Amino acid sequence: MSIKTVALKEKLGHIDSLVIPIVVDESATYKEVVSKMAAQDRGSVIVTRKGAVVGIWTERDLLFKCVLEKVKASTPIGELMTPKPIILREDDTLGKAIEVMHEKGVRNLPLVDAKGKPKAIVTVGRVIRYLADHFPAEVVNLPPVLNQVTSDPEGA
Amino acid sequence: MRCPDCGSENLAGAEDCVSCSAPIASYAAQATGKDQKRILEGTIRDLKPHDAIALYPSRTVTEAVELMRTHKIGCVVVAEKGGSLAGIFTERDLLRKVAGRLDPSKTRLAAVMRADIEPLHEGDTVAFAFHNMAVHDYRHIPVEFDDGSLAVITSRDLLRYLCK
């Protein structure tokens, strides 16, 4: 069986290694959001209004729209976010997530539960890690340093 | 099949590992054949690396950001005058080290780049890129070509290759 026939048909709701997202209200400030993301080493936040997903703000938005523009620290993230992001549901497949990533050129997709509450963020990195689980020997069993040569014979 | 937890060999179709009792049925659908070959025999060249946008370590973050915007990319390579790799600077470094802390027009790349990243070589197998991205969580890896030129592969390049 190939990756296409197995992993890509997996329902996103069944993949428990997805990242629990940082969720902020649209009134959260730029400064607050940046420091949360930096502290948790995350590339995106899901933005909500009364609990419903209304946008996403990513490190790409920081790079392209904010960092040289001298955005005020107190600016609400709702003014900077990308509104109406593509949202995935738990019964969507991993294959669909990958397709959307390729077609739309995005790397972070919010996943919501049946009530519309943010549950996870599907990132390219996590998808790769999930696929790596299907190739454990090839991917994990590599030396820490590439092409390394041992200087001493084993046991010497 | 081999148990991913303890490494013991199990009969095909076993639900739990004979040694450590870990549930292994879900791993039974291991990718095999063609996919494994593509990972073990495909090379970094097959991932179609992008020409790197390179800057000297003495250039500023503002210059790097302007180039990243122009080329619509998430990282620049930092190279010494002789062309050797000094590090990379990515949008994650921008978030973690620059935003809200430093003035990008006064911050040199040398101060905020990642210098500890090992480049891959154009002839290395795809498995190395897969390993670095899955285990070390890198999203951009610099690539050295035989002729000394530098390029970059991204996690999206790998995903595209794996799902082709």
Structural domain that includes position B18: 1-30
- Residues in chain B with CB shorter than 8 Å from the CB of A67 are 65, 94, 98-99, 104
Q: Cβ contact (<8 Å) for A124 and B100?
A: no
Predicted pLDDT of residue A70: 86
- Residues in chain B with CB shorter than 8 Å from the CB of A4 are 163
Sequence-ordered alpha helix ranges (H) in B27-90: 34-41, 61-71
Q: Is residue A23 part of a domain?
A: yes
Structural domain that includes position A63: 7-139
Q: Is residue A145 part of a domain?
A: no
Q: Which residue of B has its CA nearest to A107?
A: B156
The domain total for chain B is 2
Q: Is residue B38 part of a domain?
A: no
Question: Per residue in B56-103, pLDDT tens?
Answer: 999 999 999 999 999 999 999 999 998 899 999 999 999 999 999 999
Whether B28 has a pLDDT exceeding 50, the answer reads: no
Which of A30, A37, A102 has the CB atom closest to B160's CB atom? A102
CA nearest B127: which of B55, B69, B41, B33?
Answer: B41
Regarding whether B59 and B104 lie in a shared domain, the answer is yes
Q: Is residue A46 part of a domain?
A: yes
Regarding whether B54 and B24 lie in a shared domain, the answer is no
Q: Cβ contact (<8 Å) for B98 and A67?
A: yes
Q: Is residue B37 part of a domain?
A: no
Predicted pLDDT of residue A155: 61
Instruction: Report CA-CA distances (Å) from B91 to A71, B72, B143.
Output: 17, 11, 18
CATH code at position A119:
3.10.580.10
Q: Is residue A1 part of a domain?
A: no
Regarding whether B75 and B14 lie in a shared domain, the answer is no
Backbone φ and ψ for A86, nearest 5 degrees, come out as -70, 130
Regarding whether B49 and B25 lie in a shared domain, the answer is no
Predicted pLDDT of residue B31: 47
The rounded distance, in Å, linking the Cα atoms of B6 and B11 is: 15
Regarding whether B117 and B72 lie in a shared domain, the answer is yes
Predicted pLDDT of residue B146: 93
CATH code at position B49:
3.10.580.10
- Residues in chain B with CB shorter than 8 Å from the CB of A133 are 4, 27
Q: Is residue B62 part of a domain?
A: yes
Predicted pLDDT of residue A139: 65
Which of A2, A73, A142 has the CB atom closest to B100's CB atom? A73
Whether B44 has a pLDDT exceeding 70, the answer reads: yes
Q: Is residue B14 part of a domain?
A: yes
- Residues in chain A with CB shorter than 8 Å from the CB of B3 are none
Whether B27 has a pLDDT exceeding 70, the answer reads: no
Q: Is residue B59 part of a domain?
A: yes
Q: Cβ contact (<8 Å) for B159 and A127?
A: yes
Q: Is residue B128 part of a domain?
A: yes
Backbone φ and ψ for A61, nearest 5 degrees, come out as -65, -40
pLDDT one digit per residue (tens) for chain A, 156 residues = 566 566 788 899 998 888 899 999 999 999 999 999 999 999 999 999 999 999 999 999 999 999 999 899 999 999 999 999 999 999 999 999 999 999 998 999 999 999 999 999 999 999 999 888 877 666 666 655 555 556 666 665
Q: Is residue B35 part of a domain?
A: no
- State the average pLDDT for chain B: 88
Regarding whether B21 and B85 lie in a shared domain, the answer is no
Higher pLDDT, A34 or B2: A34
Which of B91, B124, B155 has the CB atom closest to A62's CB atom? B91
Share above pLDDT 90 across residues of chain B, in percent, rounded to a whole number: 63
Beta-ladder partners of A22? A45
Token couple for A62: 């920081």
Q: Where are the beta strands (DSSP E) in chain A?
A: 22-25, 44-49, 52-58, 82-83, 88-89, 108-112, 118-123
Which of B69, B130, B156 has the CB atom closest to A124's CB atom? B156
- Residues in chain A with CB shorter than 8 Å from the CB of B162 are 3, 128, 131
Whether B23 has a pLDDT exceeding 90, the answer reads: no
Q: Cβ contact (<8 Å) for B162 and A131?
A: yes
CA nearest A60: which of B24, B99, B132, B144?
Answer: B99
The domain total for chain A is 1
Whether B150 has a pLDDT exceeding 60, the answer reads: yes
Q: Is residue A117 part of a domain?
A: yes
